[in-house]
Amino acid sequence: MLVIAKKKENNPNIEALFQAGAHFGLLRSRRHPSSQPYIFGMKNKIEIFDLEKTNEMLSVAKEFVKSKVAEGGMILFVGGKNEARKSVLAGATKAEMPYVAGRWLGGTLTNFPEIKKRITKLEDLTSQKEKGELSKYTKKERLLIDREIESLQKDFSGISPMRSTPAVLFVVDLKRESIAVAEARRLKIPVVSLSSSDCNLKDVEYPIPGNDASMKSIEYFVNQMVSAIEEGKKSAAIASAVKAEKKPE
């Protein structure tokens, strides 16, 4: 009853958050002080997020993402823990954005020129294989090349669309992806994060306090980011069309 009392029946966004289980936090003993303002209460020793505040911060984050995409920016999805991988992969693929749905490689952002070389090598080897150009090698050499392609795909296939550092990082579990967040902060790349009550929400520009451990909750927030990206693309297309109409013949 604690959570139900806090819901606004006429607000479909809060109802959707509730149905996704976004309100579940963690034990009070695990709470980071920065998340305290977003806690509404406790149920069965588990802290409960104030979904009105979660909804507000989600809306702010979505508007920011939409504006960056409208400017032509790329959003990098990051979620390496088991509960997040499937949703991050599906969401980023749908939005046609890069992603890291596994282990974050140190230097992915701060040493991007070197990472870009690895991406180029993956693309070159893959292209050669598809064109049958590897037939000139011995069977053993082809086997070694296949293994290299497999290794490169595992590490770099998700970020292969990136030709430069992203405009924004969307991170599932700020604490879990601390290395990625630290690299983004070093390069002054803004971060949007879905973060539970054990995270330091002051570490990122656009924190979204909510359940970052449930697959259903993660999927909901990932889909919200995808929606914001799609809206940003539409805005960019409209602006481009208007600009084209204004050009003198």
Q: Which of these, 63, 91, 94, 65, lies nearest to 77 by C-alpha position?
A: 91
Report d(CA 189, CA 202) in Å as an integer.
15
Amino acid at 61: A
pLDDT in tens, 23-66: 999 998 898 999 999 999 988 889 999 999 999 999 999 999 99
Query: Residue 158, SS3?
Result: helix
SS3 assignment, position 180: helix
* Band (5; pLDDT cuts 50, 70, 90): very low
Q: Which residue has the tokens 């702010």?
A: 60
The arithmetic mean of pLDDT across residues 220-249, rounded, is 87
Q: CA-to-CA distance for 235 and 232, rounded, in angstroms?
A: 5
On the CB side of 30, CA atoms within 13 Å amount to 13
**Which helix (H) or strand (E) element contains residue 141?**
helix 139-156
For 146-201, write each residue's pLDDT tens digit.
999 999 999 999 999 898 999 999 999 999 999 999 999 999 999 999 999 999 99
Ordered structural domains, the chain, with CATH: 52-106+165-246 (3.40.50.10490), 112-159 (1.10.287)
Cα–Cα distance for residue pair 134/26, rounded to 1 Å: 53
